[in-house]
Amino acid sequence: MSADARANGRPPAASGAPKPPVHAAPPAHAAPPARALPGSGEHRRHVLVAIVLNKPGVLNRVSSLMRARNFNIDSLAVSHTDQPDISRMTVVLHGDDIAVEQAAKQLYRLIDVLKVQDVSSEPTIEHELALVKLRATDSNRAEILKLVELSNGRVVDVSPDSVVVAVTGTETEIDQFASLVRSYGIKELVRTGAVVMARGSRSIEEEIKR
């Protein structure tokens, strides 16, 4: 034992004694969590209603805008309204909420577009018409007619080897009917695309008259 240690009354420190742990200093500031990019959410079905002036080129501008924003339009139905100079478009597409909202705002800025509304989350009446030409024989014709009746459809044309059926309903109901009759052989199928109208007294067309 050294003279200094004896003089101070302390035992000498062991040469192999463990050193106290050293804690790393916390960073000056933590990096913020990654932010979700606008338009990167889950895709779902949207239904847009656009009230437009009945002029040449309007349909082309609407479809061009959707193509520029990388939307694939599932269906697009256009028709006159009660006013001969006003037309109504129903656009069905898939996309996330932010991207569709931005597209709807850009649609509204187009020339000759009077009103745009996303009615996907609103109570609406939705229908589309499908014409389906089916292969029919003497042995299966009765089965086809029974399926048509159960689906609230109607036969609009009959020939020796086929029948043409008109079916109306929602997109899902049309899909279900097509699945039911596919085993008989679908020779041809054409669909109008969905048209929608809000339930109750609210009217998108009356809103543009105010």
CATH number at residue 94: 3.30.70.260
CATH number at residue 170: 3.30.70.1150
Q: Of the candidates 120, 140, 157, which is a domain's last residue?
A: 120
Q: Could you give the CA distance from residue 192 to residue 131 in angstroms, rounded to a whole number?
A: 9
User: Which has more confidence, 66 or 41?
Assistant: 66
pLDDT bucket at 35, cuts 50 / 70 / 90: very low
Range of the domain at 191: 125-196
Same domain, 90 and 130: no
Q: Is residue 166 part of a domain?
A: yes
Q: Could you give the CA distance from residue 195 to residue 132 in angstroms, rounded to a whole number?
A: 19
| 191-205 b/e (C-beta count within 10 Å ≥ 16 → b) | bbbbbbbeeeeeebb
Q: Structure pTM?
A: 0.73
**Residues 87-103: tens digit of each pLDDT:** 999 999 999 999 999 99
Same domain, 109 and 145: no
Domain count, the chain: 2
Q: Of the candidates 68, 85, 120, which is a domain's last residue?
A: 120
Is the pLDDT confidence value at 174 over 90? yes
The answer for 188, left when phi > 0, alpha when psi is -120 to 50, beta otherwise, is: beta
Q: Of the candidates 82, 98, 120, which is a domain's last residue?
A: 120
Q: Is residue 23 part of a domain?
A: no
Same domain, 141 and 109: no
Q: How far is CA 165 from the centre of its chain?
A: 28
